[in-house]
Chains A and B, each alone.
Chain A
């Protein structure tokens, strides 16, 4: 047979490394209503917040509340601040759900539809299937983050202008510098969400129920957040995946507070690596029975 060495004995035109191309998986997911709704909501949320701010009656009862109230007060001071506020309100829950959705649903839904076994019979090598699915899920997660920030920045700038980035603790930052900080905030959020992505992806491989994977990941994330509130746990809290979730606020001060950011990155990357390794280890060995 006149076939290349990598495709010994395979059908003509089949190459393991060409199966399930990134674009094909991207299209598979893009066609899903779930993906479209999630991304659409990312666009819609800043607009809803923007409209909500229009109802500001002016009598703000400033009862404190730390950095949240300060960021909320400053939200209408410019596009950059508006974006920051949009990220603040969505970082702790909405983005977690969205990332868990993209990463937790991807394998489990194929299993529940029964299409997973046909992909494996193509054959798409299992590691490749998982890698492509993971990359596509991460790409959609990143896209959601960018859409949220991009819409907020665009809408906020159109409404409130291209103003310097302000926060209570730091001096105001020039729009250029502020944009840089905003990008850093986005980057850090993306890294922290890797832990969610890892957890959801692992559950997605373990279970055939997409809802179980997504819900399980979100549930565990909330559990970790709750435990993190219990100061009695002391040093253990540093090992919770959510412990450094808010460290991005350190990017707003001058000079930038990177200590917790670095630790947060270590935590998130370690967790993500652990979860993904388990996912690959499990999936490349398991009997697909669905």
Chain B
């Protein structure tokens, strides 16, 4: 007896639906866990300590100023485990909060990060001195002292912390100036910053001094507004600054070279006593210089000197800290030339310098995601080597990038990175000369610079400037010189140069030179909105007498496609610059030289895509190998498959041995079925509905796996898909036809699927059996049940299989057809062929079959030749007038036993006694006999099953 705790009930309990529910729940829980894990808030990994630090600076180092700071200390840092530090400076108009995400990222890399709000901004005290060496730079020196005093910060010597300085724009300028002024700095990463502030705001592109530069009023005004009155900045401008990536917490990662110069963010308390409404928090000297320049549009020497004092240009030779210069290509404020000058100056002192250009900048923001990631990577690599002392030397190769197109998924732009071993500067490592031509053209200078051409709009956002969508020239105010379509693409990287001649009645002219990329449709693009302002003096009145001047255009990185033209436009006005107030007309003509385009042969930087390519290749290889392995295993298993012939059953079409089929839910459909079908036999598998007939046939067809037992067909073990199945024709569980095909086409489609020779099919014989006439050309979906049944039998007979297995073949047939079917089956079982018919109708088996197997509840209850089973049985059914009296009479008869029966009928086992004698005996006893029905064995067996207890075996 099975223990109640045995495995089977448990398995059964887990079977089917409950098991599915369990599996489904597990899957859901796992999925939810994965989602939570991925979406979990990031672990801090550091702690932040805000503090107000008072430092003493100023020219004499005795003016106290409060600096609003936050110190980020990574977890695990202590006096025993000291960590290197990073001083993180923000951009103009920002505060320590604008670099918070960068600070957190760097702290996550294991650095103690000190971020502070520069004097004159936010909650810090003091006034804005524009990174003056006596003020902002000295503040930062005191912060270095503070860092050195922290027990958790690693030091090189007493009072000398191991520190790198990172910052963008205003903060980048500070990094350079601090490194020049304080040798304790170990490495710096200045981003999108200036070399010479006077040149940045008063550019002159023919090499003129800043005093003759053209005032970049657009940017200057923005900054002045940003550093002005507390909480200042026109609302509209604040709005645009909010769109800047700097303060965007989503841009996590090591320092993003964000400009951080958004005006209006510098709100907070005003320093005590700051009363001058025209200067706001600017120091008086800075304010005065700005007011002078902005008023005249010209930089006087004093103003230029003040700006130069805040510029790294003069102190580059003192910078000993290895420097990573990151400069933006989309930057009309501090163009690539600024970083170029810094790089040359620092490298001249023998200090390691690396230059990287990326597609962002003051106009372009962080640039595309993959580009800002590259910058972050470079920054961390630089700090790790030169500050932390980990990792190989980053080297001094030059990397730059170019907008390649849209990212299809994030709807952003995508940049492609390039690399060369040596920094080529702005002149490129090769040059391409393109002739630009055009007649001498008169151009008008509009009074007061209005209307003015638009080249770029500060803070217009990345997309506008990157796509050059905002550029526009005013008719009559510009001259054009155009090249022929390029016959091949040019990869420009650096500052193009062009020569021009100009004439002016006043002898002076302010012009803006721009280089457009014009596609074959005529759409012109001004790369990054960059223009070269020039102020020419000593011009003749007649252009014929003018000397050519060489204009150095701002450096760009751009691929000019083949078929595109290059257009040099010389305009008299630009919204971003101050132009002469007086109206005038100049004449502009092309110079004597060509347009020179510097090119760099950079190799694309392998991105993670390369890794993914290998992953893809690996995946494909793995699939191929896996597929090959599966095929090999399948072959081997196939070969090892028992292909021997069981000698006992070699000539037997079908031998079923102890077949058992138990379903997953524990239901036993067939418990023990054992029979044989021999050549020439028509065997009937007889049983009530649900006896297990169909399950047996299903196993026989290879549709279902038996739980136990074997089936042999001509001595060969039958498993699902055994080739020997091809010798069996079957109709199991009703017909299955493609409804959209005609009967004939269905048979043909079936035979095609067997892959056997066409001639072996014997279509004509099959069709004759089907007897469908012309209906064979109609679609099977229009067939009646009987027609389908006949067609299915015909299909089973296709190829004249040696064993025909038919499940309820007469289902749906009318009596003449049934009679015909009987003849067909009997005829079929000749020439060594055999037929197995299942049925729940006794008469049918009796009339059709030579042999019968009776099954019930998955067991065989009787089997043998039909005559034998059907032959006379010793039992007789009596219908009598008085059953009780008859029972007594019969009980007295020797050898005669009354079988228990119901419903007033007497079933008697005569046991050799002649029926006539039994009847005579009953009559003699005065009992009327209505009926005497001799019973047959098959009926005995079958009725016993069907009549008494056909319930409970279930629907099989």
Contacts and interface: CB of A to CB of B under 8 A. Distances in A.
B463 to A, nearest CB: 11
B38 A15 contact: no
A40 interface: no
Among B34, B559, B615, B702, the most chain A Cβ lie within 10 Å of the Cβ of: B702
B703 A121 contact: yes
Contacts of A255: 404, 416, 604
Contacts of A20: 753, 755
Contacts of A257: 404-405, 407-408, 414
B732 A11 contact: no
A7 to B, nearest CB: 6
Given A8-B716, A11-B727, A123-B722, A118 B795 contact: yes
- In the A-B complex, list the 9 residue pairs whose CB atoms are closest, starting with the nearest: A253-B405, A114-B736, A18-B755, A249-B408, A10-B723, A171-B561, A259-B609, A14-B726, A115-B736
A116 B405 contact: no
B619 interface: yes
Contacts of B795: 118
B643 A262 contact: no
B728 interface: yes
Contacts of A12: 756, 760
Contacts of B407: 250, 257, 260
A115 B801 contact: no
A184 interface: no
Interface in A2-43: 6-16, 18-21, 24-25, 27-28, 31-33
Interface string A249-274: 11011110111101101100110010
A119 interface: yes
B703 A288 contact: yes
Given A114-B736, A262-B613, A287-B705, A172 B519 contact: yes
A134 to B, nearest CB: 13
A120 to B, nearest CB: 6
Nearest to B736: A114
B609 A11 contact: no
B701 interface: yes
B561 A254 contact: yes
B703 A120 contact: yes
Contacts of A288: 703-704
A185 B314 CA distance: 55
Interface string B750-775: 10111111001000000000000000
A224 interface: no
B723 A31 contact: no
Interface string A162-176: 000000111110000
A221 to B, nearest CB: 17
Given A9-B724, A121-B728, A123-B723, A31 B738 contact: yes
Contact of A31 (B411, B561, B619, B741): B741
B8 interface: no
Interface residues of A, number: 75
A58 interface: no
B940 to A, nearest CB: 34
A121 B730 contact: yes
27 contacts: A7-B723, A8-B716, A9-B643, A11-B760, A13-B755, A14-B756, A24-B753, A25-B753, A27-B752, A28-B749, A117-B703, A121-B728, A122-B726, A247-B408, A249-B406, A250-B405, A250-B407, A253-B405, A254-B405, A259-B607, A262-B612, A266-B612, A269-B620, A285-B705, A287-B705, A288-B703, A289-B704
A226 interface: no
B616 interface: yes
B633 to A, nearest CB: 11
Interface stretch (A49-57, A124-132, A138-146, A149-157): A124-132
Contacts of B429: none
Given A10-B726, A20-B753, A114-B736, A236 B35 contact: yes
B101 to A, nearest CB: 16
Interface of B: 34-35, 38-39, 370, 404-409, 411, 414, 416, 519-521, 559, 561, 563-564, 604, 607-609, 612-613, 615-616, 619-620, 623, 634, 643, 645, 698, 701-705, 713-716, 720-728, 730, 732-741, 745, 749-750, 752-757, 760, 795, 799, 801-802
Contact of A67 (B406, B416, B730, B738): B406
B607 A246 contact: no
A113 B739 contact: yes
A244 interface: yes
B41 to A, nearest CB: 11
Contacts of B721: 16, 120, 123-126
A236 B409 contact: no
B630 to A, nearest CB: 8
Contacts of A235: 38
A66 interface: yes
Contacts of B620: 269
A169 to B, nearest CB: 4
Given A117-B703, A121-B730, 9 more contacts: A14-B755, A66-B406, A122-B754, A170-B405, A236-B34, A254-B561, A257-B404, A273-B623, A289-B698
A113 B559 CA distance: 61
Most buried by A among B702, B740, B753: B753
A248 interface: yes
Contacts of B749: 24, 27-28
Contacts of A181: none
B703 A287 contact: yes
A244 B409 contact: yes
Nearest to B489: A171
A19 B757 contact: no
A114 B734 contact: yes
B616 A262 contact: yes
Contact of B714 (A9, A32, A169, A232): A9
Nearest to B405: A253
Contacts of A18: 755-756
A270 B619 contact: yes
A194 B518 CA distance: 41
Contact of B755 (A15, A170, A289): A15
A8 B642 CA distance: 11
A269 B757 contact: no
A276 to B, nearest CB: 10
Contacts of B619: 266, 269-270
Nearest to A8: B643
Interface in A42-91: 66-67
A19 B738 contact: no
Contacts of A172: 519-521, 563
B728 A253 contact: no
B755 A114 contact: no
B409 A260 contact: yes
A144 to B, nearest CB: 19
A244 B410 CA distance: 10
B537 to A, nearest CB: 40
Given A11-B726, A121-B732, A265-B616, A260 B753 contact: no
A117 B34 contact: no
B612 A13 contact: no
A67 to B, nearest CB: 6
Contacts of B411: 66
A10 B727 contact: yes
A11 B738 contact: no
Contacts of A262: 609, 612-613, 615-616
Given A11-B801, A21-B752, A122 B725 contact: yes
A230 to B, nearest CB: 11
